[in-house]
């Protein structure tokens, strides 16, 4: 096959310009359900990706409509949480991509309702909680503690991630309850590794020291992952003495005087070390 | 092939399809013009499969329940994996280029994974920064996660079928998008270049020659004009300063990363 001249790139989302809010909302829902064609980079790209890539090219009013359409669809779902897993995943990833932090309140309300949450598919529970985590939502400690006690085994690590936002101690306290599974242990290690990168060495050392105390209470696979992380992070930070600076006023004055001579300007007048403390003589008013 | 399939439709259906293709031809959207060309140029479908695809499309058009474009996508979904299965010997190594954010979302979405998309993306970047070879824990996560969704498109190197196709394409976004003909891709996209084996537990089986059924509205697909070929071919984008050759491509069903090989590369 021979290369041909590139055709103009797709028309993007420009067809949304000038549409009513209802039309934008209807289109967005169909797009996220993969029912309308989208300009994807690769054929199996997720539907929210091209929307996030192209929405910046729209007029401000259409962008606002798109954001509000996303809000509307999320709120519709929160009111009646029954829908297709793939659609909900795409919708919530779009909300995160658009940084719709105000939806945190809605999603938190949904997630805090145990009766409703437990009736949802595992995929949708993951989507909701992942969105709250990736939107950096500041949710109450009690919420994550309650999830730690109620989420099914396979999802229990999500509560650990939420607790970690409140500090390592409440998170480490639930480690003993994590199921003894390789997949959970592997993910735990990744979460700890990435969390440690956000901390300064002293904080990491403190966290490591506390983590050691929880090792014995963990199940074998979890214990191994935690041990691995502990071993990779020093528990003690070497205290470094403050660097000593040797300073010679005489050498500085000599260098400045030599420089003044070299450039041929005003001669440099040596001053006493405490010169800056000596009150300057103010010129007298005429 | 298209003409034969079209002629086998009922008069109403034939008119509906012809009218819609003409509308795309005459329309302002180059993307749909190209889709119409692809439909006419497809030679990888058996006559009965082509007829079935066009019948489903015509049914959507006649019912007018959705737009013609959505109707085409819907019809295509009902007619996937109709291209011939690739006979042995299969290329042992297949490759996929996926935008990093998309792969992170796919990993995160996998049932066995409880890491958020952001954490998954950071993990992929960490692997890259560490030289591309994951730690045993990272490798297990990647192997248990999905590699793609629904229909997976994969490339291989016809001359070196036992090696990654990305061993022969410069690992830059520009080169990858050019070679694979990814026309929607901007230069700022970061790709994960993954390689996996076509044999062993969890390997894709079978590999199919791609058709318009999988491409649907993806206008950068080009039907391979060789009806006897066992695979598709990409059309490198112009201007192609490196003279990159078309890359053979196949499609297969969704699989996990059991047969992933490392290192994992990023193209930026």
Domains of chain A by residue range: 11-139, 143-237
Neighbours of A66 (CB within 10 A): 22
Looking at beta carbons, which residues of chain B come within 8 Å of A49? 99, 101-102, 105
Low-confidence ranges of chain B (pLDDT < 50): none
Residues in A closer than 8 angstroms to B225, CB to CB, are 1
Residue A261 in this model has a pLDDT that exceeds 80 = no
Q: For position A271, what pLDDT does the model report? A: 58
The confidence score (pLDDT) of residue A91 equals: 98
Shortest Cα distance from B6 to chain A (angstroms)? Answer: 24
- Tokens 């000038």 correspond to A18
Total residue length of chain B: 268
CB contact under 8 A, A39 and B184: yes
Q: How far apart are the C-alpha atoms of A25 and B22, rounded to whole Å?
A: 30
Q: Show Cβ contacts of residue B119 under 8 Å, excluding neighbours closer than 6 positions.
A: A161, A190, A191, A194, B108
CA distance B140 to chain A (A): 8
Q: Which of B216, B233, B238 sits opposite A6 (nearest CB)?
A: B238
How many contacts (CB atoms, under 8 Å) link A and B?
150
Q: Which residue has the higher pLDDT, A269 or B199?
A: B199
Mutate to test the interface with B, among A130, A133, A197 (most CBs of B within 10 A): A130
List pLDDT tens digits, range A119-136: 999 999 999 999 999 999
Q: What residue of A is the nearest CA neighbor of B115?
A: A187
B208 touching A (Cβ < 8 Å): no
Q: Mind telling me how many Å the CA of B138 is from chain A's nearest CA?
A: 7
Q: Which two tokens stand for residue A39?
A: 């300009």
Contact flag A183-B123 (C-beta cutoff 8 Å): no
What phi, psi does B194 have (nearest 5°)?
-110, 145
pLDDT band at A180 (very low <50, low <70, confident <90, very high): very high
């Amino acid at each position: 096959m021979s290369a041909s001249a590139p055709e103009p790139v797709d028309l993007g989302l420009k067809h949304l310009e000038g549409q009513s809010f209802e039309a934008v909302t209807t289109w967005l829902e169909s797009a996220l359900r993969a029912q309308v064609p989208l300009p994807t980079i690769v054929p199996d790209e997720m539907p929210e990706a091209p929307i996030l890539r192209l929405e910046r090219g729209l007029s401000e009013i259409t962008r606002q409509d798109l954001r509000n359409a996303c809000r509307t669809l999320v709120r519709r779902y929160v009111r009646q949480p029954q829908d297709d897993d793939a659609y909900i995943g795409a919708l919530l990833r779009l909300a995160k991509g658009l940084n719709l932090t105000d939806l945190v309140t809605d999603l938190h309300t949904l997630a805090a309702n145990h009766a409703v949450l437990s009736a949802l598919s595992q995929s949708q529970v993951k989507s909701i909680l992942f969105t709250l985590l990736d939107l950096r939502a500041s949710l109450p400690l009690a919420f994550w503690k309650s999830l730690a006690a109620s989420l099914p085994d396979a999802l229990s690590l999500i509560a650990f991630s939420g607790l970690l936002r409140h500090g390592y101690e409440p998170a480490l306290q639930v480690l003993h309850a994590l199921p003894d599974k390789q997949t959970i242990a592997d993910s735990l290690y990744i979460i700890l590794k990435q969390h440690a990168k956000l901390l300064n060495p002293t904080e990491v050392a403190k966290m490591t020291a506390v983590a050691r105390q929880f090792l014995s209470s963990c199940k074998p696979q979890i214990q191994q992952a935690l041990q691995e992380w502990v071993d990779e992070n020093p528990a003690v930070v070497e205290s470094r003495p403050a660097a000593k600076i040797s300073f010679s006023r005489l050498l500085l004055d000599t260098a400045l005087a030599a420089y003044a001579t070299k450039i041929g300007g005003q001669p440099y007048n040596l001053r006493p070390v405490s010169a800056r403390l000596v009150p300057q003589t103010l010129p007298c008013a005429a | 092939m298209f003409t034969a399939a079209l002629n086998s439709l009922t008069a109403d259906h034939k008119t509906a399809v012809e009218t819609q293709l003409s509308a795309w031809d005459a329309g302002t959207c180059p993307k749909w013009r190209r889709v119409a060309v692809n439909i006419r140029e497809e030679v990888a479908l058996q006559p009965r499969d082509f007829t079935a695809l066009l019948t489903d499309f015509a049914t959507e058009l006649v019912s007018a329940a959705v737009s013609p474009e959505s109707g085409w996508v819907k019809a295509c979904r009902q007619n996937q994996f109709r291209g011939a299965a690739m006979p042995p010997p299969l290329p042992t190594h297949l490759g996929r280029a996926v935008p990093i954010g998309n792969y992170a979302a796919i990993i995160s979405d996998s049932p066995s994974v409880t890491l958020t998309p952001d954490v998954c993306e950071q993990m992929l970047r960490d692997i890259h920064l560490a030289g591309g070879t994951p730690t045993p824990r990272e490798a297990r996560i990647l192997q248990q996660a999905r590699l793609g969704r629904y229909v997976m498109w994969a490339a291989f190197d016809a001359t070196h079928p036992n090696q990654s196709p990305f061993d022969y394409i410069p690992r830059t976004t520009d080169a990858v998008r050019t070679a694979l003909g990814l026309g929607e891709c901007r230069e700022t996209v970061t790709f994960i270049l993954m390689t996996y084996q076509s044999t062993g537990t969890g390997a894709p089986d079978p590999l199919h020659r791609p058709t318009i059924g999988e491409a649907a509205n993806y206008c950068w697909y080009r039907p391979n004009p060789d009806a006897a070929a066992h695979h598709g071919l990409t059309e490198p984008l112009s201007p192609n300063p490196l003279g990159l050759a078309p890359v053979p491509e196949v499609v297969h069903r969704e699989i996990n990363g059991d047969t992933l090989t490392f290192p994992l590369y990023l193209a930026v």
